Structure 1
Amino acid sequence: MDGMLETAYRTMLGLAFLLLFTKVLGKKQLGELTYFNYATSIAFGNIVGEMIIHYQDVSIANGIVAVVIWGLLILGIEFLVKRSPKAKVALESEPAIVIKKGLIMQETLNNLNLGIDDLCMMLRNKEIFSIANVDYAIFEPNGQLSVMKKTPDSAPPGTYFLPSELIVDGKLMKGNLKEYGLSEKWVQSKLDKAEISSNTSVFLAQLQEDGSLYIAPKDNTKPLIV
């Protein structure tokens, strides 16, 4: 009987820790989780499971210490990822272009350990059955594929870009600038037109297809397109 009460007590304690852990991760859907989030969630569940089932080998005190330390580590990593683009790339990777202007980026596919069959399957999941209809395809950090279809032949000609983030939470995305041959000076010229002194005052700046820049200031004023 004492063993059953001990298990019941540990189960309720474990549930409380799992609820707290989901608060730490935030309100992400399963499909939005990165591989890192997914792996850490499984590991956390295993720690809680060990504390519940193996009560003869794992004391409640040791279980709580393990859960608290793991939770604090994950919380610290999540904070670091939000604050540092380099940490985000290192821990969660970054979006990778696998089709660019209709061309399959074979080296990128190899680096991602994806075969052409995998790419075609993900396109079919987007109801696209011909790669010839794809202008851009981006493999996201959560394993999903984002696709931009080719514009109709009747569309007016002109230079266009794939919408991409150039400033996130005040930080320049230098990789995206390099991808499109843009400079920090070009970004600053756009900010000057919007009467914004520095990229540190910008929450999000996204390059648009026509080369304009969507700017959402940190002070929650009305977004601008310049």
Structure 2
Amino acid sequence: MRVLLVEDDPVLAREIAHALRAENFAVDHASNGEDGLHMGETEAFDAAVLDLGLPKIGGVEVLRGWRAAGRGLPVLILTARDGWSEKVQAFKAGADDYLVKPFRVEELVMRLRALVRRSRGHADARISCGPLSFDAQVGTFERDGLPLRLTALEWRILSCLMLRKEIVVPRADLIERVYEGDADVDSNSLEVIIARLRRKIGRDMIETSRGLGYRLTASGGAA
């Protein structure tokens, strides 16, 4: 899962980014509204954390710009403004959730996970695909009831496939949502991670659709 963080406070931004990466999220950071608007319009993200009091362009204007451009990513407003009028304005602009500073990073993580899960059409926090299960609220995977140990990149790829199980996910889409924007991505790195995942969950559970991408399927669960 890849998150866009638009926050002008450098200390808070580092704290949030560190906490999200510790929970396996890929994080791209914009320190002002102008950069945040551009990144949200031109790159693929699973969700955004957006401050309201930003330099250059305010958070509400950024959000309006994303929605006007047809960007439907879930947006969590993170701000010190706790007045009712500010909340109304943010939700009218297209916000999906609103968290007031100060806050606990654990709550931020849980809210983001819920937003991403619901945006993919999953009402239940536990998602299953054959012998594989994913607790999307806690962020843990199990196969046949036993916990899976995954690297951050393996977790991001498998969560992306799980949230769109039985659907072919384009290779480019996986890369966009797994790697941060400044990452130096080797042409074969995705295939290497897919191969590692197949060894952990069952080779036939991840199908390759040549020229398109990959599909997580329950039909290969017995392999």
Q: TM-score band (shorter)?
A: under 0.3
Higher strand share: 2
Q: Which has the higher contact order (CA 8 A, sep 6+)?
A: 2
Taking structure 2 as the reference length, what is the TM-score of the superposition?
0.27
TM-score (structure 1 length as normaliser): 0.26
Greater CA radius of gyration, 1 or 2? 1
